[in-house]
A and B are shown apart, each in its own frame.
Chain A
Amino acid sequence: MDSGRWDEIKKSLQPTIKEWKFILSRIKKSPLSLVGVALIIFYILIAILAPVLAPPKPGADPFMVPRDWLLLKRPILERTAPIPPTTNHIFGTTEGQYDLYYGCIWGTITAFRTGVYVTFFVLLVGLVLGVVAAYYGGIIDEILMRFTDIIIAFPGLILAMALVVAIPNVFNLNLSLLISIVLAFLAALIFLSRRLKITTKIISEAILIIAICVLLFVYKIEWMMTINNLDKVLIALILVGWPGYTRVIRGEVLRVKNEDYVEAARAIGCSDFRIITRHILPNSVYPIIIMASLDIGSIVLSAAALSFLGLGAPEGYADWGWLINISRGWIGQAGLFTYLHAFLIPGMFIFTFVLGWNLLGDAFRDILDPTLRRR
C-alpha cells in the first residue's frame, strides 16, 4: 500500500481514534468502571483458560460436569448430599456429587455463549427491522410497530417460559418457506420504496421472485433440527428481546433520516443501501449497539432464572443457574453453613459476572449521553 493512501486512511480514522481515546480516559477516571473492566477481563480469561483450569476427561463432552462416583457409594442417606470444599474438589460438590469447581469454570463459557448469541441476534433483528421501519415508513412501519407493541405487552419472563415449553425439541425446519417469506418481504420493500409506481423493471423483478419461490416449493428443502433445552432458552430470549431494540433503533434512524447530509446523499443519487450503511447507521446506532452489547449481563441473568426454574440447561450441564437449582433442596438442612457453599459459589459467579457488565454499562451510559458529556 502506498503511503498516500495509508495517510488517507489514518486521517479518516482520526475521529474514531479520538472518540475511543475520550472513552478510555473517562473509564480510567471512574474507579467503578475500572472494576467492571477488571471483572469482565477476569471472566474472559477464565473462559479461554477453561480447558487448562478444569481439564475435561478425554473423549467426554467438556460441558458435562463430572460426578464423583466414589462419594456416591457412601451410605444411602448422605449419598447425594453436597460436601464442603476438599483438596479433590476445590469448591466442594453439589447435590448428586457434581464437581462445583468444574461446573463454575465451564459455566463461564455457557454464560458468554448465551449472552453473545442472544445479543447478536437480537441486535441483528432489531437493526434490520428498525432501519426498515424508520427509513421506509408508511404501512411497513405501522405493521412492524404494532407487532412490537404486542410482544412488549407481555411480561418477558412468562413469554420466554411459555416459548421454552412450546418449542419442540425436534422439528422440520421448512427452509423453502422461510426463504420465500424473506423474499416476499424484500419484494414488498422494493415495491413500496418506489412509491407504488409500476414499471417494467418491477414487473420483471416480481416475476423473478415468484419463479424462485415456485422452484423452492417444487424442490422442497427441509432441515431436520434437533435442539436441546439450552438452545430453546436462547431462541426464547431472542424472540422476546428484539422488539425493544427495534423500537430504539427506529427512533434513532427517524431522528437522523431528515438531516441535510442524508438529503444531499440522496440528491447525488446514492442508493438506499449506501445511504443507510454509510450515512444513517454511523450517525445513529453505534452508541445503541455498544449499549446493547453491555446488556449481556441482564441476558445471562434471565437465562439463569429460566435454568433455575428447571426450564433451561439439561441435567449435568455446566450452567450456573442449574447448579443453584439442584442444590435448592438442601437449603435449611442441618444449619446455615453445612450446605451454603453449594448455592453461594455459583451465585457469586452469576452476581460478579453481571456486576461487571452493569458497571461498564453504567460508565458507558454517562459517556455516550450527549447531554452530560464534555463540559
Chain B
Amino acid sequence: MGLGTYIVRRILLIIPIIIGVTALVFAITMLFNVYQRATLYVRDPKQLTPQNIQGIIDKYGLNDPFYVQYFRWMGQVLQGNLGWSVTASRPVLDCILDKFPVTFEIVLYSAPIIIFLGIYLGVKSAVHRDTIIDHITRSVSIIGTSLPSFWLAILLISFFYVQLGWFMPTRLSSEVQHFVESPNFIRYTRLNTIDGILNGQLWVTADAFRHLIMPIIVLVIIQIALIIRVTRSSMLEALNKPYIILAKAKGLSDKEVINKHARRNALIPTVTLSGLLVASMLTGLVITETVFNMPGLGSWAARSAQTLDIAAVLGFTMFSAVVFVLSNLIVDILYAYLDPRIRLA
C-alpha cells in the first residue's frame, strides 16, 4: 500500500470516530432533565416562566427521541452554530476562537522545551545507564509525575510572585492589556509575544513572557517525565540491536553510533507520544490555566462545567475531540512515513 492510499484510508476512518464522539458527548447532556436542558436556550430572564420554557421545549423538540435531537444538533454544528455560552454570554464558537490563542501561546513555548529536553535527557540517561546521570534524571522525572500540578503552581505563585515579584499570573499586566487592546496595536496573530515583536513594541513581548514563565515551568516539570521514560526505554532497546554492534565494529565513534544509528530508530515511539502530548496540551491545560488565571480554553471549560453551562462544555468537548482525532491522524501519517513497515501491514 502506498503512502497516498494509507492517508486516504486513515482519513475515511475518522468519520465514524467523529460521529461516535459527538454522539457520546450529546448523550451525556441527555442525563439532564428536559427543563434543565431548556434553560440552555434561554437568553433573557423574562423567558423563565413555565409557558415560555414549554415553548422552548416544543420549539427545539427536546422531548424527541435521542437520535432525532442528535441529528438536528449535528446539522446546526455543521453550519457552524455550537450554541450559546451562558457563562461568557457569547456564542460558543466565538469563545473558542477567542480563547484558543491564549492556550496556543503557552503550548507554543512549553511543548518544544518538553520534547527536546525530554529526548536529550532520555538519550543521556540510556547511554549512561545505571550511572549517576541516569539516577538523577529518573528521580527528577518520577518527582515530576508525582507532583500535583495545582500545588506546584500555587507554590510557584507564592514564591516568585508574592515573595520575589519576578513573574506574575494572568496573561498581561493591566496597563499592557490596555495598550494591546488600543487601536495603536495591531493584533496580527493574537499571540502577545509575537504581536509585540511585529509591532516593534518589545516591552509588550517582555511583559507577556514574564506572565508565561510560571505556566511553562509547571508544564515542563509535570509533562517531561513521560518523554524521558519512553525515549530512555526505546533507546536502551535500540542500543542492544545487532546493527549497533556492527556500527561499533566498523570503528565509528560513540557519538556517531548514538546520534546517527541508535537515536534515529529509538525516536519513533517518541514522535507518537509528542504528537499526543501537544494535542492533550492544546485541549487540557485546565488546571494550569485556572490556577494562573489565564483566560484560555481550559479555564473556560472548567468554569462552564462548574456553572452547568452545558452548551459551552459540549462545544469545548467537541473541539478537543476534533483536535485529538486530527493529531492522531497526523501522528499516524508521520509514523507511516518514518516507518514503512506500518503502511505495509
Residues of A within 8 A of B (CB): 32, 146-147, 149-151, 153-159, 161-168, 297-298, 301, 304-305, 308-311, 321, 324, 328, 331-332, 335-336, 340, 343-344, 347, 350-351, 354-355, 358-359, 362, 369, 371-372
Residue of B nearest to A309 (CB): B302
Q: How many A-B residue pairs have CB under 8 A?
A: 141
Question: B145: which of A298, A328, A331, A371 is its contact (CB, 8 Å)?
Answer: A298
- Report the interface size class on chain B: 35 or more
Question: B148: which of A161, A340, A347 is its contact (CB, 8 Å)?
Answer: A347
- Nearest CB of B to A360, in Å: 10
Given contacts A149-B17, A298-B145, A332-B162, contact A158 B328 (CB under 8 A): no
B287 x A358 contact (CB < 8 A): no
3 tightest Cβ-Cβ pairs between the two chains A and B: A347-B151, A355-B146, A150-B20
Is residue B345 contacting chain A, with contact meaning CB distance below 8 A? no
Residue of B nearest to A330 (CB): B158
A331 x B157 contact (CB < 8 A): yes
Given contacts A311-B306, A328-B154, A355-B142, contact A336 B159 (CB under 8 A): yes
* Chain A interface, DSSP helix/strand/loop, else mixed: helix
Residue of B nearest to A239 (CB): B28
A371 x B28 contact (CB < 8 A): no
Residues of chain B contacted by A336 (CB below 8 angstroms): 158-159, 162-163
Is residue B65 contacting chain A, with contact meaning CB distance below 8 A? no
Interface mask (B124-140 → A, CB under 8 Å = 1, otherwise 0):
00000000000100110
Question: A350: which of B20, B143, B151, B316 is its contact (CB, 8 Å)?
Answer: B151
Q: How far is the CA of A332 from the CA of B292 in the complex (A)?
A: 13
A359 x B280 contact (CB < 8 A): no
Residues of chain B contacted by A310 (CB below 8 angstroms): 306
A149-B20, A162-B28 known; 10 new pairs, CB 8 Å cut-off, are A147-B20, A150-B24, A154-B317, A164-B305, A298-B145, A324-B150, A332-B157, A347-B151, A354-B148, A369-B233
A161 x B17 contact (CB < 8 A): no
Residue of B nearest to A36 (CB): B142
Residue of B nearest to A167 (CB): B31
Is residue B295 contacting chain A, with contact meaning CB distance below 8 A? no
Residue of A nearest to B302 (CB): A309
Q: How far is the CA of A344 from the CA of B305 in the complex (A)?
A: 27
- Nearest CB of B to A7, in Å: 41
A308 x B150 contact (CB < 8 A): yes
Question: B138: which of A340, A362, A369 is its contact (CB, 8 Å)?
Answer: A362
Residues of chain B contacted by A154 (CB below 8 angstroms): 21, 317, 320-321, 324
B154 x A355 contact (CB < 8 A): no
Residues of chain A contacted by B154 (CB below 8 angstroms): 324, 328, 331, 343, 347
Q: How far is the CA of A304 from the CA of B154 in the complex (A)?
A: 14
B148 x A304 contact (CB < 8 A): yes
Is residue B181 contacting chain A, with contact meaning CB distance below 8 A? no
30 sampled A-B residue pairs with Cβ under 8 A: A32-B138, A32-B139, A32-B142, A146-B16, A149-B17, A153-B17, A153-B325, A154-B321, A155-B320, A157-B284, A157-B286, A158-B283, A158-B286, A158-B301, A158-B317, A161-B286, A161-B305, A164-B305, A297-B146, A304-B150, A308-B148, A309-B290, A328-B154, A332-B158, A332-B161, A335-B162, A343-B151, A347-B154, A351-B146, A358-B146
Is residue B85 contacting chain A, with contact meaning CB distance below 8 A? no
Residue of B nearest to A324 (CB): B151
Q: How far is the CA of A158 from the CA of B148 in the complex (A)?
A: 17
Residue of B nearest to A154 (CB): B321
Is residue B149 contacting chain A, with contact meaning CB distance below 8 A? yes
B139 x A155 contact (CB < 8 A): no
CB within 8 Å of A: which B273-313 residues = 280, 283-284, 286-287, 290, 301-302, 305-306, 308, 313
Residue of A nearest to B308 (CB): A165
Residues of chain A contacted by B25 (CB below 8 angstroms): 162
CB within 8 Å of A: which B204-263 residues = 233, 236-237
Is residue B67 contacting chain A, with contact meaning CB distance below 8 A? no
Residue of A nearest to B138 (CB): A362
- Residue in A161, A354, A362 whose Cβ sees the most chain B Cβ within 10 Å: A161
- Nearest CB of A to B278, in Å: 12
Is residue B147 contacting chain A, with contact meaning CB distance below 8 A? yes
